[in-house]
Chains A and B, each alone.
Chain A
Amino acid sequence: MGSVLQLLFTGLGIGAVYALVALGFVLIFRATNVVNFAQGEFSMVAAYLMVVFAVDLGWPYWLSFLLSLGGMAILGAIFNLGVYYPLRNRSFLPVIISTIGASIFLANTVLALYGPQPQVLPGWFDAPGIQLGQVYLDSQYLLIIAVTILLVAFQYWFFEHTLLGKKLQATSQDKEMAALLGIPVATMIMITFVYSAVLGGIAGILVAPVLFVSIQMGSTIALKAFAATIIGGFGDVAGAIVGGLALGIIETFGAAYISVPFKDAFAFLVLILFLAFRPQGLFGERVAEKA
């Protein structure tokens, strides 16, 4: 029983990481109909920024955190202007390729500036974890789960109960109509990219103490997060969360009870099954094309 609980905890922990990154995907997708292949790199860049501020320069953790997120906001804005905006009227494929180019660019720029050595980022807490009976709760994973819950709550409140949130939703559902209603669509999209970048940054900074800061840390998570958004229901925020958590648990239990080497295959197998039998995911809606 102890192992099951332990696996459950770790599965939720890693699942929360997928969920956070997936959230960033979903937001950009809903606003712009674009899948951002560079979302994982946002997490990676933020983690490196933290290393520069908190470790290399030795500044206080909270200050470094805020500065890093500020940096991510700027990166999100530049990304919107440079990668998405010029292609906003084209089909989804050039945009995908453009975001892939951006992910290569970001990863290698960090490599050129910082070098290839993985770095250590200390966690928020000094204590590494709590032992609860037979289960060890890594403190950083606890933090990740807590922050995910908070962010989801915040996001729900923001989108459903504030005017800005409603405007963002309107933009994501029908850009033309929103524009006709006087909503500044370009600004809304900019806000979406900035928020997504910050979200990705939070995910990266939270997960770095556990997975270490390396150039590749973003891309492996991002692919799984993308799968999670589909399992949850593409374009649905609650779906991204549930999908991420579900994926983390499926992976962990699959590794423990079926096969560790095939761990990565499980995620994709589950995805294929969903796509075959329930493409709208757990929460998504079927969309028909008007003849």
Chain B
Amino acid sequence: MNLTRRSVTAGLVAGVAMPAVLRSALGQSAPIRIGMVLPVTGPAADSGKYALTGAKIALDRVNKGGGVLSRQVELVTEDDQTTNPGAVLAFSKLAAQSDIVAFLGSIRSTQNHAMAPDILKTAKPVCFGGTDPALTKLGNPWLFRFRPNDSYSGRVIAEYGIETLGKKNWALVHSTDAFGTGGAKALSGSLDKVGAKIAIDQGYPNQSQDFTPVVLAIKSSGADVIGSYFTFDNDLAIFARQLRQLGVTIPWVGSASIIVAGAVKLAGPALYGTYGVADYAVDASPESREFAKLYGAVSNVAPDNYSSWTYDAIGVLCAAIAKAGDTDPDKVRAAILATQGYKGAEGEYNFDQFGDGLHGYNIVRNEKGSIVFDKHIEFTD
């Protein structure tokens, strides 16, 4: 080859420019990173596995479609140990990585409360699944909820029980933790508003092992329908069994835990014929069915709300980034808030000013072990 001055100059120019060219090329294909806080250890470890599966399915879907802004999307996870300080540490560890664009928070409301101050400081969008209504009223502009909050679950249980089942004398059974207490408060509030009677409001401590006193109290209260907020599968299953053993057959409409795969498997026939409010139900919509199909390809456990909200969160987040054309937090935030009519596995997302995306629930029925979709109740206020 002839080493002419021109070729040397061209070579030098190329040599100098190459890193910049390389850099910009690499920069364009540097992945978009989303942080995820989830329980890998601790009592909620099983739900963490589902949440991760749902998020990964959504991620694969997005990446196969070419990614977002021509970049692949990547998930970075940290264990929150199912404790509040653990969640704070996990989140702050993720937040320390400045290239993370947005986050998936927890399905447990107290953990989200604990992380809230750090979330405010980090100033990047966080998608979470906890249902405590207060979380979107904190004045924190970075929190976005991907499950309908408990004010809706309460209203839906009340409306279904009274309007569809025609029962007006309620027995409320709920765990004494944050979820159970908040849910029961929402439900009793809704019942009071329509003038239904609350025959008994019975709390129980988690990991109770025996529910005989609760069942006997329900029996003697004369209630004709049960509304429940259970946190743990095993409590639910033991209660259900003892309920049937002691001869209680009144209708039962429960919060979402009543139709999750774990509880259904543990309780078996004791839960046949019960109703649940489910933010996720397989047959609720074509999108939910598609999610079930995708989920079935990677797992032999049926999908439930532990995985559907993370699936939707990734979907909405990626769509919002694409619409914003940028990973800048304020732009992404505006894009999320502007998301209307997004059809996800959990339902149709119409974000209000507070950050709540969903405003209704599905009612499903346990038909001899399989979950059958009944109807969807949506609120527009």
Contacts and interface: CB of A to CB of B under 8 A. Distances in A.
Interface string A81-121: 00000000000000000000000000010010001111010
Contacts of A260: 202-205, 208, 213-214, 217
By size class, the interface of chain A is 20 to 34
Interface in A5-64: 6-7, 10, 13-14
A117 B46 contact: yes
Contacts of A7: 212-213, 216
A116 B266 CA distance: 14
B237 A261 contact: no
Given A111-B41, A216-B43, A260-B204, A14 B209 contact: yes
A120 B49 contact: no
B45 A111 contact: yes
Interface stretch (A142-150, A161-169, A186-194, A207-215): A207-215
A177 interface: no
Contacts of B213: 7, 252, 255-256, 260, 263
Given A111-B41, A117-B46, A261 B176 contact: yes
A234 B43 CA distance: 32
Contacts of A252: 210, 212-213
Contact of B265 (A6, A13, A120, A138): A120
B208 A6 contact: no
B208 A256 contact: no
A6 B213 CA distance: 9
B251 interface: no
Nearest to B263: A118
Interface string B192-218: 000000000011110111101110110
A118 B45 contact: no
A184 interface: no
B245 interface: yes
Nearest to B245: A136
Given A252-B210, A256-B213, A260-B205, A211 B234 contact: yes
Contact of B216 (A14, A138, A256): A256
A129 B245 contact: yes
Interface in B209-231: 209-210, 212-214, 216-217, 220
Interface residues of B, number: 31
- Most chain-A Cβ atoms within 10 A of its Cβ — which of B202, B207, B212, B246? B212
A118 B233 CA distance: 8
B31 interface: no
B246 A136 contact: yes
Chain B contact residues: helix, strand, loop or mixed: helix
B369 interface: no
- Most chain-A Cβ atoms within 10 A of its Cβ — which of B45, B207, B238, B268? B207
Contact of A212 (B208, B214, B216, B266): B266
B189 interface: no
Contacts of B214: 255, 260
A116 B46 contact: yes
Nearest to A115: B46
A268 to B, nearest CB: 13
Interface string B121-159: 000000000000000000000000000000000000000
A118 B234 CA distance: 7
Contacts of A212: 234, 237-238, 266
B230 to A, nearest CB: 13
A246 to B, nearest CB: 15
Nearest to B207: A220
- Most chain-A Cβ atoms within 10 A of its Cβ — which of B204, B209, B214? B209
Nearest to B212: A10
A50 B246 CA distance: 28
Contacts of A14: 209-210
Nearest to B238: A211
B211 to A, nearest CB: 9
B235 to A, nearest CB: 10
A264 interface: yes
A255 B215 CA distance: 11
Given A212-B234, A212-B237, A260-B202, A118 B266 contact: yes
Contacts of B273: none
Contacts of B203: 260-261
Nearest to B217: A256
Contacts of A214: 234
B233 A256 contact: no
B262 interface: yes
Interface string A244-265: 0000000110011000110110
Contacts of B204: 260-261, 263
Given A120-B266, A260-B202, 7 more contacts: A116-B46, A138-B245, A212-B237, A214-B234, A252-B213, A256-B216, A260-B214
Q: Across the A-B interface, give the 9 residue pairs with the lowest CB-CB distance, nearest first.
A: A256-B213, A116-B45, A116-B46, A255-B213, A10-B212, A212-B234, A261-B203, A261-B176, A136-B245
16 contacts: A3-B220, A6-B212, A14-B209, A111-B41, A118-B266, A120-B265, A136-B247, A210-B238, A211-B238, A212-B266, A216-B43, A220-B209, A252-B212, A255-B210, A261-B203, A261-B205
Interface of B: 41, 43, 45-46, 49, 176, 202-205, 207-210, 212-214, 216-217, 220, 233-234, 237-238, 245-247, 262, 265-266, 268
